[in-house]
Amino acid sequence: MKVLKFGGTSVGTVESLRNVKSIVEGQEEPVIVVVSALGGITDQLINTARLAAQGDISYLDNYARIVERHHQVIEGIVPQALQLDLLSMVNPLLEELGNIYRGISLIKDLSDRTLDIVVSYGERLSSVIISKIIDGAIHLDSRNFIKTEKQWNKHVLDNDTTQRLVHGIFDDLKYDVVIVPGFITSDNAGDVTNLGRGGSDYTAAILAAALDAKVLEIWTDVDGFMTADPRVISNALIIDHLSFTEAMELCNFGAKVIYPPTIYPVFHKNIPIYIKNTFNPTAPGTCISEQHPSPEGKAIKGISSINDTCLITVQGLGMVGVIGINSRIFNALAKNGISVFLVSQAASENNTSFAVRNGDADHALEVLREEFNAELQSGTLSEITAEHNLATVAIVGENMKHTTGIAGKLFNTLGRNGISVIACAQGASETNISFVIELKDLRKALNVIHDSFFLSDT
Ligand code: ADP
Ligand code: ASP
Ligand code: MG
């Protein structure tokens, strides 16, 4: 059995849905097919809800466009004989959505819970439509078997309940093709929740791991995982093979092609992931699997970046040699659900810097100033500062550990191009070197590093 996931880019238009149909119907073994909302619909659902909550009557035009888009796809691809039956399922969903928008516009309030309900219609609609265009497909609703629980105020997978429910449904099911909506889930109270933006990849990985699939295929709009974001680096190259660790490092640092939590469930079961192009299905794509890097392989596999970076620095000469400062910093942040994605401390110990998303920065400052109030008063700590408008770049490759001179080459390239590095970090596993620069230097930094590691012989 295989699990195939088609993203919004693959289910956006009548033409792309024809490709999806032929790829799925061409499979020689049973498949579970996880689908996203029609491309762009999730954003439209959210924007329309916001307009309604502001009392802006143009939400009605937006809603009409959402309805129109689904009807057009149905008319364009679903055989005439099946259209009425399908519309009898799709129209009540669209009507419900319209009523919810009307409710939001009347009370002018949009809670997180309501927004979770609104966005769920994207995948609910697309999965019902796609199951009608694929011969012999069964439709199952993931809200019945993928469950979330609340942690740090976020919905996270409730793995035990999910495993039990997935086995309960699939173990005795006879199928050639099952269509499942990605992204959407429900909690113990039965309320609709989701796995976060981009979460359909994760839905597919959860099912692949729970049911011991032979392979997980992520079908998207590029020929594979690339050495850098192709929208920024036009000559980025396709990577044939990545280890799970390399893929995890790259997507954690912004390679949008896979949603980061996707890797772990399949890594844990040693199930390979293939990244394939719906618009070019014969291209080999990228294989992500366990591998032991050969010392001759390339030292760097890819480069990724996060432009939403704020660097917070806790400093003071009084920190030197004092035990427990870092533990207090990270405990205070964790208790407040603030995630840190890069940490740097020099051996002199008189400052610790770490990177958070800009949206978390004010909260982080508040929490730390409270935690270290006494030290700030006494002068043990001189200040806690936040630097905005930064970006973080990571170069990734398991073979770095067998190769000397990578950091030298990296910082030389940046220096020669007048880009200054504000903070940097390399873990002892030596699979990733990350550094923080000014946001205005990001595009140039990615270009010069990509040229230096992938396009020049030196
Ligand atoms: P889907 O709708 O299929 O989930 P996404 O838009 O989420 O597609 O992800 C695919 C996009 O990820 C590609 O179109 C590409 O622009 C972007 N991307 C960013 N970094 C990379 C990378 N390193 N390799 C390939 N694609 C990347
Ligand atoms: N439709 C959701 C989103 O746009 C989930 C996904 O496509 O993976 O984020
Ligand atoms: Mg995606």
Evaluate if residue 422 carries a pLDDT over 70. yes
Q: Does domain 302-455 have CATH number 3.40.640.10?
A: no
Q: How are the residues of the chain apportioned to helix, strand and coil, as percentages rounded to the nearest 5? A: 45, 20, 35
Element (H, E) at 184: strand 184-187
What pLDDT does 342 receive? 92
Instruction: Residue 98: name the closest of 62, 72, 123 by CA.
Output: 62
Q: Which ligand is nearest to the CA of 35?
A: 2
36 Cα nearest atom in ligand 2 = 7
**Partner residues linked to 6 by β-bridges:** 35, 219
CA angle (120, 123, 125) in 5-degree steps: 100
Report the percent of the chain where pLDDT is more than 70.
97
Where in the chain do CATH 3.30.2130.10 domains reside?
A: 302-455
Specify the domain boundaries for CATH 3.40.1160.10 within the chain. Answer: 2-221
Any idea which ligand is nearest the CA of 36?
2
Q: Specify whether the CB–CB gap between 19 and 231 falls below 8 A.
A: no
Of all atoms in ligand 1, which is nearest to the CA of residue 304? 23
Residue with tokens 């959402």: 66
Q: Which ligand is nearest to the CA of 183?
A: 2
Q: Given the structure tokens 């014969």, which residue do they identify?
A: 282
Mutate to test the pocket of ligand 2, among 9, 10, 119, 200 (most ligand atoms within 8 A of CB): 200
Which residue lies with its CA nearest to atom 10 of ligand 1?
257
- Asked if residue 275 lies in contact with residue 258, where contact means CB atoms within 8 angstroms, the answer is yes
Mean predicted confidence (pLDDT) in 23-50: 98
In this predicted structure, the answer to whether residue 153 has a pLDDT above a threshold of 80 is no
Tens digits of residue pLDDT in 177-197: 999 999 999 999 999 999 999
Among 5, 23, 220, 226, the mutation site with the greatest number of ligand 1 atoms within 8 A of its Cβ is: 220
pLDDT the model gives residue 95: 98
In a mutational test of the pocket of ligand 1, which residue from 218, 229, 251 has the highest number of ligand atoms less than 8 Å from its CB? Answer: 229
> What is the C-alpha separation between 391 and 421, in angstroms, rounded?
10
Closest atom of ligand 1 to CA, residue 221: 14
Give the integer Cα–Cα distance in Å for 410 and 415. 9
Bigger pLDDT: 255 vs 187: 187
Is the pLDDT at 416 greater than 70, yes or no?
Answer: yes
Instruction: Determine whether 293 is exposed, middle or buried from the number of CB atoms within 10 Å of its CB (0-12, 13-18, 19+).
Output: buried
CA-derived radius of gyration, the chain? 24
pLDDT exceeds cutoff 70 at 296: no
Q: Are 280 and 218 in contact (CB under 8 A)?
A: no
Strands 286-288 and 273-277: antiparallel
Q: Could you tell me if the CB of 226 is within 6 A of ligand 1? A: yes
> How many whole angstroms from 246 Cα to the centroid of ligand 1?
16
* Top mutation candidate among 41, 239, 252, 256 for ligand 1, by most atoms within 8 Å of CB: 256
Do 169 and 145 form a contact (C-beta atoms < 8 A)? yes
- Does residue 119 line the site of ligand 1, with CB under 6 A? no
Q: Kindly write down the DSSP assignment for every residue of 299-348, as one continuous string.
A: S--EEEEEEEEEEEEEE-GGGTT-TTHHHHHHHHHHHTT----EEEE-TT
pLDDT (0 to 100) of residue 380: 87
Is residue 122 within 8 Å of 38, Cβ to Cβ? yes
Given ligand 2 and candidates 4, 35, 38, 42, which is best to mutate, with the most ligand atoms within 8 Å of its CB?
42
Instruction: Kindly indicate the confidence band of residue 321, based on its pLDDT and cuts at 50, 70 and 90.
Output: confident
- The binding-site residues of ligand 2, defined as CB within 6 angstroms of any ligand atom, are 7-8, 36-37, 42, 122, 182-183, 197-200
Give me ligand 1 centre to Cα 256, in Å. Answer: 5
Q: Could you tell me the pTM of the whole model?
A: 0.92
Cα(231) to centroid(ligand 1), Å:
9
Nearest to 209 by CA among 289, 271, 261: 271
Mean pLDDT, rounded, for 289-298: 75
pLDDT computed for residue 293 by the predictor? 62
- pLDDT tens profile 204-228: 999 999 999 999 999 999 999 999 9
| Ligand 1 binding pocket includes 122 (Cβ within 6 Å) | no
pLDDT tens for residues 58-94? 999 999 999 999 999 999 999 999 999 999 999 999 9
**Residue with CA closest to ligand 1 atom 11:** 257
CATH number for the region 2-221 comes to 3.40.1160.10
pLDDT at 403: 84
Coil, strand or helix at 177: strand
- Please report, for residues 36, 81, 157, 195, 455, the alpha-carbon distance to residue 125 in angstroms, rounded to integers and kept in the order given: 10, 19, 23, 17, 44
Please list, in sequence order, all residues whose beta carbon lies within 8 angstroms of the beta carbon of residue 333, skipping any fewer than 6 positions away: 340, 356, 364, 367, 368
pLDDT in tens, 348-365: 668 899 999 999 999 999
Does ligand 1 have an atom closer than 6 angstroms to the CB of 8?
Answer: yes
C-alpha of residue 392 to centroid of ligand 3, in Å: 21
Question: Is 60 exceeded by the pLDDT of residue 276?
Answer: yes
On the question of pLDDT at 154 being above 90, the answer is: no
320, pLDDT greater than 90: no
The region, left, alpha or beta by phi > 0 then psi within -120 to 50, assigned to residue 130 is alpha
Question: Residue 316 — very low, low, confident or very high, per pLDDT cuts 50/70/90?
Answer: confident
Structure tokens at 205: 């990985």
Torsion angles phi and psi, residue 36, rounded to 5: -85, 175
Residue 239's pLDDT band (cuts 50, 70, 90): very high
Going by alpha carbons, the residue nearest to atom 8 of ligand 2 is 198
DSSP tag of 454: I
Q: Supply the residue whose CA is at minimum distance from atom 4 of ligand 1.
A: 7
Distance 120 CA to ligand 2 centre (A): 10
The residue whose CA has the least distance to atom 12 of ligand 1 is 257
**Distance (Å, rounded) from C-alpha 102 to C-alpha 82?**
30
Mean pLDDT of the chain: 94
Residue 435 — φ and ψ, nearest 5°?
-150, 155
Burial category of 43 from C-beta neighbours within 10 Å (exposed 0-12, middle 13-18, buried 19 and up):
middle
Helix residue ranges, H only, 7-79:
14-25, 41-53, 59-77
